[in-house]
Structure 1
Amino acid sequence: MQRDAIIYVRISRDRIGAGLGVERQRIDCENLAERLGWNVVAIYDDNDLSAYSGKPRPGYRRMLEDLKASVATGVLAWHTDRLHRSPTELEEYIQVVERHGVDTQTVKAGQLDLSTPAGRMNARNLGNFARYEVEHMAERQQAKKVQKAAAGQWLGGRRPFGFEPDGVTVRPTEAAELNARGDDILAGMSMHAIARDWNARGVTTATGGQWTPNAVRRVFLRPRNAGLMEHRGEIVGPAEWPAVIEETKWRAIVALINDPSRRTTPGPRRRWLGSGLYECGICVEAGAEKTTVVAATAGLSTGGERKTVPSYRCADSRTHVARNPEHLDRYVTMLAVEWLSRPGAVEAFERRGDDGQGQARVLEREALRIRDNEAAEMFAEGKMTKAQLIAANEKTAARRAELDRADAAAARVTALAPFRKGDPQAVWDGLDLERRRAVISEIMRVIILPSHKGRPRGWTPDYGKEWGYFDPDGVRIEWRSPA
């Protein structure tokens, strides 16, 4: 009997690439149609999409709609499991073919007879067996992943940044970027600034894309950077690949990134040194939770003309303080460079001394991991109650947090590191805005005080040419002490 037929092809994972997996199915189905004498009126495919995943299959849904509209009375598939791996989908398909007299033929399994109780039972059994196969395969794959994770072997997937496609061999150029930018994070650089830097220099993600702040954050939080194996969100031991960032340094980076009090740039590139960094004196005196100032534009009338000029203003109230950002930034810069030029000033802020305790913390973490595993085994054997297991895990988690804080304190690279050698002014001039902000944040606290309008005391025309009406007495500098 000649029929108008629809070919449906699907493959869960296109390992061949370029759609060749479904293409081969299509050719086999067309050959079957020719043998049956059927006329193919449509071909629908779902490439790289599992029937078991529960995700919508656009090609399959279009096929069903055509069958309901009597566009065709025959379906050709490579195998029954290409059509269904879900009992729910199969029942819907049975209803459609029964109502519209659709014949289903497959290349590998022959006719799928849904017109009789025995045929429908056979189809359901095939569907249940296919579902069992998928679940069993998933179980085997998961067991294999657990086994590989325990051995520190790569579980596969997309190429990680810093490594070659095998996931094990280090890619030197990207590893160097991770190390250098890791130092920048420890020195106060934000995720936004690193993303801008990498994008500007053409350093792409592992897939060749542009960096976002969240992508930068994720790549630095990966335990694999320190040569550690992670499975289901937990570090399970050393990995088979080498570390691209020394473990103590990596843990310090993680501690700083996850620190809720850490200042980070929340948005677009900053233009002024003190925006979000300097503080409003009125808010500070009032003990306000939010005290920072932001750079904004304000209207100014001069000679009958109105123009906008930048101004530092309190982020909470525009009436508290207002200051010319160009003059204030220049003044703060002068003070900072003068301080950095003092003998021993930079060295006093160094925090590198750890007396070899970093390696001791690494060993203690491994001991804590073993202790957690032993507690889990004791719970599984009935030798420990659930409450005891929770208490033991909480105790080791608290100790890990202490070790993280110790790593952050010991391995932190001060933002002042570039000033250890060379002329302070030349070093400052060579820094970008983010690094300059990190320096200011580390050595001083800048508080803008309310000021009187008009010329400051001692004002002269020569002073005005360079500084306008800027009054140094309207700024309070509090120098920070080394931690």
Structure 2
Amino acid sequence: MAIIKAAIYCRISEDPRSTERGVTRQREDSEQLAKARGWEVVGTYIDNDVSVLGARFRQNYDAMLEAAVRGEFDFIVAYGLSRLWRNRKERAHAIEVLAKARVGIALVKGSDIDLTSAAGRMYAGILGEFDSAESEIKSERIARAAKQRAEEGRANGSHAYGWTRVYQRDSAGNMISWEDVEDPIAADVVRGIVADLLAGLSMNHVVRELNASGTPTPSGKGKWMSSTVRKLALRKMNVAIRTHRGQEYPAAWPAIVDRDAHDRVTALLTDPTRVTTKGGARRHLLSFGIGRCGKCGSILRVVNRGGPHILYCCDTPQGCVGRRVEWVDEFVASVICARLAREDARDLFVSSDDTAGRDARIRVDAIRSRLDSAADAFADGEIDAQQLARITAKLKPELSAAEADASRATAGLDSTLVSEITAGDTREVWDSLAVTQRIAVLQALDVRVTLLPARGGPGFKPQYVRIDWNASESQP
């Protein structure tokens, strides 16, 4: 009598700690079944921590099917049919493949299935449908619970960086509820990141300062990265907004960032014209098109031609103009600070006062409130689904337009920095700023510095440096 050859297949959907205890139990039980029947186990295929309901690739499952096609075994032994399939498309494909390969299925918890017969294939399909339905019902319950948490404004999972979780327990010590409250230390880190970015500091500067200060990262491991800082600054949860599948809900946790500051930093970091070059580009005051050549109109770059001094030069092969960086920067600083020391200096930062931004955000909040009211009215039966759809269709474009207006209006210089540099000793404040902050001031003032071809002998000649205000309006 020919020996029947078998392959064992084991799978567990979730094993976050990779203990493999579940698949080990499946393997042991399957081996006992094969031994009791006198079958020879020629292969064991294990997919640990892999769900079959979604689209995750099962490497060892596919390898097993390929082995079946090659005729390496007669039966697949599994703990239960649900270990093999819950996905309808995958199940239909496998039944067809195994039927052609004349491979049957033996289950530790279940009956044998002969896939070479129509009745056996029907039986496998019917049993599989029960497994699919069970998984889908479970997914629906999970999705509904997730939506309910979102509607209640509660976090989905552990608390986020910036908050800590407080549990309420009964007299027996059992947890009955919880709430997320502000973590003062972590929240201050988030607020500091937002404030530094709005003050004109570069992302790289903020990262360096966080690492230099020894501030723990959100994970408590490794070093701060620009991506981490950006993510923290842009989170809507900072202003107590909970998102779920693109829908926003009022969060149950407290806001840790002022709404105006959040909108401003979002506008800043998502501005498509924002320059994010790496290296030394931000170290020089006339970077990013602030400095121009007065002869050909090209932007200025910084070069070292082998001498003791770094120069601003025309960004062309012929190099129309060239000036020592320290001379030009000092002259620009003196002119800018002299103007900002005057009583009407704050009027130069019209956009930084953010009146338009606040008006736009008031409109955004009002439209969101109307959408929320409509949703509540639908939930209370005051309006039907068709009426809710009409209201939503009308208000959504208005909300998008108002949000766009808010974004454009809030991209200016932070009002705190405006106050600092227009009050007291302007030059002392200027000298204390990082270069990126000085650049931000010049950009907010719409200043352009043009180096004109100089005449005469060596030395710095300020008459050949032109400083224009509101440059984007007066120059091409």
TM range (shorter): 0.7 to 0.9
Provide the rounded CA distance (Å) in 2 between the counterparts of 1:213 and 1:140: 37
Provide the rounded CA distance (Å) in 2 between the counterparts of 1:19 and 1:418: 60
> For the Cα contact (< 8 Å) 1:279–1:292, is it kept in 2?
yes
1:438-453 superposed matches below 5 A: 438-442=440-444, 445-452=447-454
Partner secondary structure for residue 8 of structure 1:
strand
Look up the match of 2:439: 437
Moved more, 238-247 or 190-199: 190-199
Look up the match of 2:81: 80
Look up the match of 1:328: 328
Q: CA deviation at 1:404?
A: 5.7
Look up the match of 1:295: 302
2:284 partner letter:
W
Look up the match of 2:397: 394
For residue 185 of structure 1, the aligned residue among 191, 197, 210 is 197
User: 2:381 matched to 1:368?
Assistant: no
Partner secondary structure for residue 105 of structure 2:
strand
Q: CA deviation at 1:421?
A: 8.0
Change (3 A) 1:327 1:179: same
Q: CA deviation at 1:320?
A: 4.6
Number of residues of Structure 1 aligned to a counterpart in Structure 2: 450
Look up the match of 2:15: 14
2:33 partner letter:
L
2:69 partner letter:
K
Partner secondary structure for residue 283 of structure 2:
coil
1:35-93 CA-to-partner distances (Å, cap 9, x unmatched) read 34444443322222221212321111122222233443332222211111233333443
> For the Cα contact (< 8 Å) 1:428–1:436, is it kept in 2?
yes
1:327-366 superposed matches below 5 A: 327-336=327-336, 364=366, 366=368
Partner secondary structure for residue 53 of structure 1:
coil
For residue 257 of structure 2, the aligned residue among 205, 221, 245 is 245
> For the Cα contact (< 8 Å) 2:293–2:314, is it kept in 1?
no
1:265 partner letter:
T
1:252-271 CA-to-partner distances (Å, cap 9, x unmatched) read 3223333445x443323533
Provide the rounded CA distance (Å) in 2 between the counterparts of 1:136 and 1:349: 58
User: 2:464 matched to 1:474?
Assistant: yes
2:244 partner letter:
H
For residue 247 of structure 2, the aligned residue among 195, 215, 234 is 234
Look up the match of 1:89: 90
2:278 partner letter:
G
Partner secondary structure for residue 67 of structure 2:
helix
Look up the match of 2:229: 216
Q: CA deviation at 1:389?
A: 5.1
Q: CA deviation at 1:137?
A: 2.3
> For the Cα contact (< 8 Å) 1:379–1:389, is it kept in 2?
no
Look up the match of 1:464: none
Provide the rounded CA distance (Å) in 2 between the counterparts of 1:401 and 1:110: 62
Provide the rounded CA distance (Å) in 1 between the counterparts of 2:179 and 2:81: 37
Provide the rounded CA distance (Å) in 2 between the counterparts of 1:181 and 1:422: 26
Change (3 A) 1:242 1:164: same
Look up the match of 1:204: 217
Provide the rounded CA distance (Å) in 2 between the counterparts of 1:11 and 1:396: 45
1:290-347 CA-to-partner distances (Å, cap 9, x unmatched) read x6433345x56xxxxxx89854344577645433334323443454556666678579
Change (3 A) 1:150 1:41: same
Look up the match of 2:66: 65
Q: What is the root-mean-square deviation in Å for CA atoms of aligned residues?
A: 4.1
Q: CA deviation at 1:402?
A: 4.6
User: 2:60 matched to 1:47?
Assistant: no
> For the Cα contact (< 8 Å) 1:442–1:480, is it kept in 2?
no
Partner secondary structure for residue 415 of structure 1:
helix
> For the Cα contact (< 8 Å) 1:347–1:420, is it kept in 2?
no
Look up the match of 2:170: none
Change (3 A) 1:384 1:362: closer
Provide the rounded CA distance (Å) in 2 between the counterparts of 1:94 and 1:353: 65
1:397-416 superposed matches below 5 A: 397-402=400-405, 412-416=414-418
Partner secondary structure for residue 163 of structure 2:
coil
Q: CA deviation at 1:120?
A: 1.3
Q: CA deviation at 1:104?
A: 2.4
1:250-289 CA-to-partner distances (Å, cap 9, x unmatched) read 223223333445x443323533232225221448x97xxx
Look up the match of 1:168: 180
TM-score, length of structure 1 as denominator length:
0.76
1:226 partner letter:
V
Provide the rounded CA distance (Å) in 2 between the counterparts of 1:345 and 1:115: 88
User: 2:302 matched to 1:312?
Assistant: no
Partner secondary structure for residue 66 of structure 2:
helix
1:435 partner letter:
Q
Provide the rounded CA distance (Å) in 2 between the counterparts of 1:448 and 1:108: 82
Change (3 A) 1:120 1:453: farther
Provide the rounded CA distance (Å) in 2 between the counterparts of 1:21 and 1:249: 49
Q: CA deviation at 1:224?
A: 0.7
Change (3 A) 1:334 1:412: closer
> For the Cα contact (< 8 Å) 2:190–2:233, is it kept in 1?
yes
1:137 partner letter:
K
Look up the match of 2:145: 144
Partner secondary structure for residue 448 of structure 1:
strand
Change (3 A) 1:58 1:180: same
Look up the match of 2:287: 275
Provide the rounded CA distance (Å) in 2 between the counterparts of 1:368 and 1:248: 21
Change (3 A) 1:9 1:413: farther
Provide the rounded CA distance (Å) in 2 between the counterparts of 1:213 and 1:414: 23
1:363-390 CA-to-partner distances (Å, cap 9, x unmatched) read 635533335537988985444885x753
Look up the match of 2:168: none
Change (3 A) 1:208 1:77: farther
1:422-448 CA-to-partner distances (Å, cap 9, x unmatched) read 866665554433233324434572412
Q: CA deviation at 1:196?
A: 4.3
> For the Cα contact (< 8 Å) 2:10–2:78, is it kept in 1?
yes
User: 2:115 matched to 1:114?
Assistant: yes
1:125 partner letter:
I
1:293 partner letter:
L
Provide the rounded CA distance (Å) in 2 between the counterparts of 1:323 and 1:24: 77
Partner secondary structure for residue 45 of structure 1:
strand
Partner secondary structure for residue 149 of structure 1:
helix
Gaps of 5+ in 2: 166-177, 472-476
1:386-419 CA-to-partner distances (Å, cap 9, x unmatched) read 5x7533432344345455666777x943434555
* Sequence identity percentage: 30
> For the Cα contact (< 8 Å) 2:193–2:229, is it kept in 1?
no
